[in-house]
Structure 1
Amino acid sequence: MGIGRGGFGRHHRALWGAIFALPALAYILLFQLYPILFSFYISLHDYDLLSDPVFVGFKHFAALPQDRAFVSSLWITVAYVVYTVVPVLGLSFLLAWALTQVRTSRALWRTLLFVPSVLPIVTVALVWKLIFNVNGPLNDAVAFLGGSRIPWLNSSGYAPLALVIMSWWHAASYYMIIFLAGFLAIPRDHYEAAAIDGAQGLQVLRHITLPAMQPTIALAVVLATVNGLKTFAFQQIVTDGGPANSTQILTLLIYKTSFSYLDMGRASAYSVVLFGGILLISLVQIWFLRERNV
Structure 2
Amino acid sequence: MEQTTAVPIQLQLHRQPQRKFRRHIWGYLFVLPAIITFALFLWLPIGKGVVDSFYKIDFVKGDSYVGFDNYRTIFKDPDVMTSVKNTLQYMGLGIIIGFWVPLLFAIMISEMRKFQGFARVAAYLPYVVPFVVLYGVWRWLYDPVGPINAALGKLGFDHVLFMTDKSWSMASIVIMETWQSFGSAMLIYLAAVLSIPRDWYEAAEIDGAGIWQRIRHITLPAIKNQILLLLMLQLIATSQGFQTQYAMLDGGPNNATLTYALLIVKYAFVRQDYGVASAMGVLMFFALSILAIIQYRINNRGGIK
Aligned equivalents of 2:215, 2:112: Cα separation in 1: 18
Specify the alignment match of 1:162 in structure 2.
172
Letter in 2 for 1:136: G
Query: How far did residue 191 of structure 1 move?
Result: 2.5
Aligned equivalents of 1:234, 1:293: Cα separation in 2: 32
Equivalent in 26, 32, 49 of residue 39 of structure 1:
49
Aligned equivalents of 2:231, 2:21: Cα separation in 1: 44
Specify the alignment match of 1:130 in structure 2.
140
Aligned 1:51-200 pairs, distance under 5 A? 51-200=61-210
1:254 aligns with 2:264: yes
Aligned equivalents of 2:102, 2:28: Cα separation in 1: 40
Query: How far did residue 87 of structure 1 move?
Result: 2.5
Tell me the secondary structure at the aligned position of residue 71 of structure 2.
helix
- Tell me if the contact between 1:122 and 1:233 (Cα under 8 Å) persists in the aligned partners: no
Letter in 2 for 1:36: I
Aligned equivalents of 2:209, 2:30: Cα separation in 1: 52
- Tell me if the contact between 1:88 and 1:171 (Cα under 8 Å) persists in the aligned partners: no
- Tell me if the contact between 1:125 and 1:233 (Cα under 8 Å) persists in the aligned partners: no
Query: How far did residue 183 of structure 1 move?
Result: 0.5
Aligned equivalents of 1:83, 1:69: Cα separation in 2: 21
Query: How far did residue 151 of structure 1 move?
Result: 2.3
Q: Deviations over 1:134-173 (max 9, x none)?
A: 2322222233334443322122222222112212212222
Letter in 2 for 1:104: K
Aligned equivalents of 1:150, 1:199: Cα separation in 2: 43
Specify the alignment match of 1:5 in structure 2.
none
Larger Rg: 2
Change (3 A) 1:202 1:41: same
- Tell me if the contact between 1:121 and 1:233 (Cα under 8 Å) persists in the aligned partners: no
1:23 aligns with 2:33: yes
Aligned equivalents of 2:203, 2:220: Cα separation in 1: 16
- Tell me if the contact between 1:254 and 1:271 (Cα under 8 Å) persists in the aligned partners: yes
Letter in 2 for 1:99: I
Question: Cα RMSD over matched residues?
Answer: 2.2
Aligned equivalents of 2:23, 2:262: Cα separation in 1: 46
Query: How far did residue 33 of structure 1 move?
Result: 0.9
Tell me the secondary structure at the aligned position of residue 157 of structure 1.
helix
Aligned equivalents of 1:123, 1:49: Cα separation in 2: 37
Change (3 A) 1:50 1:211: farther
Change (3 A) 1:15 1:262: same
Aligned equivalents of 1:264, 1:127: Cα separation in 2: 34
- Tell me if the contact between 1:178 and 1:220 (Cα under 8 Å) persists in the aligned partners: no
Change (3 A) 1:202 1:151: closer
Query: How far did residue 24 of structure 1 move?
Result: 1.2
- Tell me if the contact between 1:95 and 1:176 (Cα under 8 Å) persists in the aligned partners: yes
Query: How far did residue 112 of structure 1 move?
Result: 0.8
Specify the alignment match of 1:278 in structure 2.
288
Q: Deviations over 1:88-118 (max 9, x none)?
A: 1211111000110112222111011101122
- Tell me if the contact between 1:114 and 1:173 (Cα under 8 Å) persists in the aligned partners: yes
Equivalent in 213, 226, 237 of residue 236 of structure 2:
226
Letter in 1 for 2:286: G
Specify the alignment match of 2:245 in structure 1.
235
Tell me the secondary structure at the aligned position of residue 158 of structure 1.
helix
Which ranges in structure 2 are unaligned for 5 or more consecutive residues? 1-19
Aligned equivalents of 1:195, 1:146: Cα separation in 2: 44
**Bigger CA drift: 98-107 or 183-192?**
183-192
Query: How far did residue 196 of structure 1 move?
Result: 4.6
- Tell me if the contact between 1:152 and 1:158 (Cα under 8 Å) persists in the aligned partners: yes
